[in-house]
Amino acid sequence: GDWSFLLYHSRGLEVSGLCFAFYWDDFLKCCWGADDWRVAVDFLLVWCAALLCFSMLSVFLANCCCELC
């Protein structure tokens, strides 16, 4: 497989994960206010879930691509 493609692709997934987390954080601040502890907890949970999801997806896609090579 092409490793440069894999690195580029996983970097793109990391960026989308960060964007997702950033906007979710803004959404939570609108809902509960910035001082609410739930904002911090939910932000961390969503960010971790998004990161895990994206990293699993990138591994899955990488395996598919490598099999095609």
Please say if the pLDDT value at position 49 is more than 60. Answer: yes
Contacts for 40-48: CB closer than 8 Å, 24+ residues apart: 46/20, 46/21, 47/17, 47/21
Q: How many structural domains comprise the chain? A: 1
DSSP H or E segment with residue 40: helix 37-68
pLDDT at 21 over 60: yes
Pair 46, 19: CB distance under 8 Å: no
**Do 64 and 9 meet the contact criterion of CB atoms below 8 Å apart?**
no
Over residues 13-39, the mean pLDDT reads: 60
pLDDT of residue 55: 73
| Mean pLDDT along residues 17-42 | 60
Q: Which domain holds residue 34?
A: 3-68
- The single-letter code of the amino acid at 24 is W
**Percent of the chain whose predicted confidence (pLDDT) is above 90:** 0
